[in-house]
Structure 1
Amino acid sequence: MEHSRHGKLVVKRSTIGKDDLATLQADWQRLEKIANGSVFTSWYWISTWLKNIDYKAKLLTVTFNQEIVGLALVVERSENKYGNSIKQLWLNRTGDQVKDQIWNEYNDVLCAKGTEHAIRAAIINFFEQQTIAEELIIGASDETIQQTPISSNVLVHTSWATVSYSKALKPEYNELNQFLSELSVNSRQQIKRSIKLYGGLDSIHITPAQTADEAISLLTEAGELHKQRWKQRQSGFENPHFVSFHHQLIRDHFDNGCIDVLKIKNDQRVIAYLYNFKFKGNVYFYLSGIEYCDNNKLKPGLVAHSLAISYYANLGFKKYDFMGGEGRYKNSLSDEQSRMIISNFRRRNLPFMLSSILRKAKALYSHKNANNNASNNANAS
């Protein structure tokens, strides 16, 4: 067991096995109650993930006066970079693209709300002091993760970034028209026209799965549509690990009330399936299966999400989170945007320093080139 001290915070790294799960669950769920975490750092997600990777992760425990104040799991991995084998630690992920296609967002250490920077700094300090890895990868997370105070011996690189969208829910959205009234004229007209073409609001029904078996069945139906939609980019439903993880997640935790699979249809046809997670008053839209057709006046995605927003507002939820990924429909239906990133915390060694210098030089060149082009265009006009 390795450990390091960061002020009065002590970080320990230890192995875990099935015999440790009961204790880990109790510690995790105790912190979960006072954390500002998401469903992706909840025991629901974490316990299923551990099971699916056969518990091949190490536990980082942060203590203050011998009380546990922070928890995270890391997987060790080596990757060839810059002609060298670089040892990595992946926080709550494996670093294996196939296994990580399950894609967790809002990924971070688990700790009490308001202590995130201090606990994360202690873990980064542990990484810096130990010799087990040259790189610690955390994400996808909110970009504020990079406000964590770190030593000058650690470099930070953003290896991936996207926009995340969400919509604050109001009780009055239980009336769909109240929600639609806040959208742009164009979006509102498209949705109302689509609903009319689907036979009117009274003809459209949202049916949530009632059992784990039904949820898996509906998710399988959604998967067929998802594969059709993402033929050019491999759908997760083509990945056995992805399918196995979500089936296990549903079997283990559907009865805890954290999972919804919604089937949205009119009297003749399926419009869409939505696979959502529910946690601490928030709804996380994870994926959809959309029944597209040749009639471009039908907007099944806009209709499905608008109805879902009204549905969850009626149930008392506070936020509908579209999560990361560009999408016109997300922009149309949301009222808040943020930036989601993957952060690589790296030892200040020669390969990483050279890489950082080259990236900055390339960015500076691109910026100057863009300014020169703009100046030339202005002079020519």
Structure 2
Amino acid sequence: MLTASLHSSANKKELLRLLGQFSEIEGLNKNPFLSYSWQYSWVSSLPTMPTLVTFKNDGLVVGYTLYKTKKIIPGIPIYCAFVNQLGNSAYDQVWIEFNDIICIKDFKYQCIELLINQVLKKGNVTKLTLSMCKDPKEWLQVVQHNNYRYEIDQTPGFRKPLADINSVADVLVGLSRNSRNKMNRAIRDAETTFGQLSVKKYGKSETEDFLLRMGLLHKKQWMGTSLGSGFANEYFLEHHKTLCNYFYDSVDLVEVRAGDVLLGLSYNLIHNKRVYFYCSGINSDAKRGKLKPGYVMHILLMSYYGKLGFEFYDFMAGESQYKRTLSSEEYKLYTLEIFRNSIMVSIGRYLLKNIKKLFSRPSQGSHPL
């Protein structure tokens, strides 16, 4: 019989100790974001603790997940729960993709059903949010079987298979003719202007220097935007320092140069012979005419990882032109909102939708952009 037990505690050491029991269970580490190394590093960075749900089948652990509840509107005791997130932009800025319940595959449906029923039957929790899930099939089956109302949204993700990649030329062959010509020109300009292209991998002892240098470049590029830079966030930094220092085999810290000139730094997650491009610091001072240092960096890295025998170079989620240009496969990540079965919740959702429609309408005489 499958059971779920909840552990809520403000004691970080105790929660980290409990997470340790999942580190060696085969079938739980499905991707870098659901791995023990990522979850441990994330919890280590937090000032407030999520609730741990442990799933057992006849006494044997078959999975777990973390969740946190948050008031939807300050001052009103109505809550939303978040799977493997806290619902706080500062604490969640490390950003989880390929999110899911963390359990052995054969028990996934049962674990999801237990989690949803446990959470949505608690007091004033009206909604459970699962963000950026690759395969929500079992979630939707549970939701529909139990007649929960739900909303689902999708975000595109992009990747490049590396099975046949052993050189820069192999990478370029897969591009459109127009893109191939542009990238050839950019590579030629980089080598003519600065010198030969090269890739360097940073060692564990160089982690601090890498994060410092990447932070400077990343903040220069992103601090003036609405997204901001995680490198200005102490919780984001603490998470990645822990991940790099304690689980160095889970990351790859690399730089691409043209001669002595840095084109970019890339922070990649490594899991099951796949490379997940997490973030970068691009040297904007290296831009010259047709030379795009970011594009050149990714092309060099796909060649580099292909030669090392990796299977995929995953740009992950987000609509960006460089991802569409350099990838050859597109997939979807889904965000699912599951609502408690309640007349009041249904009325509240109806009113909220209409309020949003009212305020989203352009004023008379204006033209929508």
Q: Is the shorter-chain TM-score for this pair beyond 0.5, marking a shared fold?
A: yes
C-alpha deviations, 1:339-362, integer Å up to 9, x for none? Answer: 223222221224431354468889
In structure 1, distance between residues paired with 2:17 and 2:97: 25
Q: Of 240, 243, 251, which aligns to 1:249?
A: 243
Q: C-alpha displacement at 1:29, in angstroms?
A: 2.1
Say whether the 8 Å CA contact 2:214–2:280 is kept in structure 1: yes
Listed one character per residue, the Cα deviations across residues 285-309 of structure 1 (whole Å, up to 9, x for unaligned) are 1001112245340121211111111
Query: Is 2:176 the partner of 1:176?
Result: no
Contact between 2:28 and 2:35, CA under 8 Å: does it hold in 1? Answer: no
Shift of 1:174: 1.7
**C-alpha displacement of 1:273:** 0.7
Corresponding position: 1:225 with 2:217? yes
3-state SS in 2 of match to 1:174: coil
- Structure 2 partner of 1:237: 231
Counterparts of residues 147-158 of structure 1 (less than 5 Å): 147-150=140-143, 151-158=145-152
Q: Deviations over 1:145-201 (max 9, x none)?
A: 55342254522123x64211111211x312221221111112211221111111169
For the residue of structure 2 that corresponds to 1:39, the secondary structure is coil
Aligned to 1:332: 325
Q: Does 1:353 align with 2:346?
A: yes
Residues 174 and 119 (structure 1 numbering): CA distance in 2 closer, same or farther, change over 3 Å?
same
**Which of 93, 97, 110 does residue 118 from structure 1 map onto?**
110
Of 40-49 and 213-222, the range deviating more from structure 2: 213-222
The residue aligned with 1:14 is 7
Q: What is the rounded CA distance, in whole Å, between the counterparts of 1:168 and 1:118 in structure 2?
A: 33
Match of 2:134 in 1: 142
Deviations 1:86-131 (A, max 9, x none): 2232221111111111111111111123543332222112223443
3-state SS of 1:46 partner: helix
Mapping 1:38-77, distance limit 5 Å: 38-54=31-47, 56-77=49-70
Matching residue within 267, 283, 299 for 2:275: 283
Identity of aligned residues (%): 27
Provide the rounded CA distance (Å) in 2 between the counterparts of 1:168 and 1:356: 42
Structure 1 pair 261/113, CA: closer, same or farther in 2 (3 Å)? same
Change (3 A) 1:202 1:312: farther
CA contact 1:36–1:112 (8 Å) conserved in 2: no
The corresponding residue for 2:125 is 133
Q: In structure 2, the residue corresponding to 1:80 is in which secondary structure?
A: coil
Name the stretch that deviates more: 57-66 or 113-122. Answer: 113-122
Q: TM-score scaled by structure 2?
A: 0.86
1:25-47 deviation digits (Å, cap 9, x = unpaired) = 13x1233x324621111111111
- Code of the residue aligned with 1:135 in structure 2: it is K
Aligned pairs for 1:20-39 within 5 A:
21-26=16-21, 28-31=22-25, 33-35=26-28, 37-39=30-32
Mapped contact 2:149–2:340 kept (Cα < 8 A): yes
Whichever residue aligns with residue 151 of structure 2, its letter is H
Answer yes or no: is the 8 Å Cα contact 2:69–2:81 preserved in 1. yes
CA distance in 2, matches of 1:20, 1:224: 33
Partners of 2:225 and 2:64 in 1: CA distance: 38
Taking the aligned partners of 1:343 and 1:124, their CA distance within structure 2 comes to 12
* Contact preservation (8 Å) 1:121, 1:148: no
- Gapped regions of structure 1 (runs ≥ 5): 1-7, 366-381
Q: Within 2, Cα distance between the matches of 1:314 and 1:295? A: 29
- Tell me which amino acid in the other structure corresponds to 2:40: S
State TM-score, norm by structure 1: 0.83
With over 3 angstroms needed to count, the CA separation of the structure-2 counterparts of 1:98 and 1:243, relative to structure 1, is: same
Q: Distance in 1 between matches of 2:97 and 2:8?
A: 25
Deviation larger for 179-188 or 114-123: 114-123
Cross-structure match for 2:203: 210
How large is the Cα RMSD of the aligned pairs? 2.7
Distance 2:61 2:295 in 1: 44
Distance of 1:364 and 1:152 partners within structure 2: 29
Residue 50 of structure 1 aligns to a residue in which SS? Answer: helix
Partners of 1:263 and 1:274 within 8 A in 2: yes
Q: Secondary structure at the match of 2:24?
A: helix
What is the aligned residue count?
Answer: 350
* Separation in 2, partners of 1:143, 1:24: 24
